[in-house]
Amino acid sequence: QSVLTQPPSASGTPGQRVTISCSGSSSNIGSDYVCWYQRLPGTAPKLLIYSNNQRPSGVPDRFSGSKSGTSASLAISGLRSEDEAHYYCAAWDDSLSSFLFGGGTELTVL
């Protein structure tokens, strides 16, 4: 059971907007920034969002991040088949002195 809680699965149709949630606590999301990773099948995780809502160079603006209180969300607009992947949220936890990953959400494009 991960400290950062994500839904195990999400789905959408091409062109649709989907959101993936990440719920934490005051010692992690509530006090530190959130980042998001995309792991395509057979590849290493790729940083999608850092510092809650910043995109690294090369990440399309279809991907956006937000945070409110002890929860964060990743939104993907204009869904494409190549977005099928596992998505992970992550943050530092001040109480555990540990970098935490969420359990991951498997996104299916129908």
Partner 1 sequence: QLQLQESGPGLVKPSETLSLTCTVSGDSISSTSYYWGWIRQPPGKGLEWIGSIFYSGSAYYNPSLRGRVTISVDTSKNQFSLNLNSVTAADTAVFYCARHYCNSPTCHFDYWGQGTLVTVSS
Q: Which positions touch partner 1 (CB under 8 A)?
A: 2, 31-33, 35, 37, 43-47, 50-51, 56, 88, 90-92, 96-104
Residue 96 vs 110, nearer CB to partner 1: 96
Q: Please, what is the minimum distance in Å from the beta carbon of residue 31 to partner 1?
A: 7
**Cβ proximity to partner 1, 31 vs 77, nearer residue:** 31
Q: At closest approach, how far in Å is the CB of 15 from partner 1?
A: 29
For residue 45, give both structure tokens.
């995780």
CB of 83 to partner 1, least distance (A): 19
Sign of CA dihedral 19, 28, 54, 107: negative
Which residue bears the tokens 């959130």? 34
Nearest CA to 85 out of 26, 51, 27, 44 is that of: 44
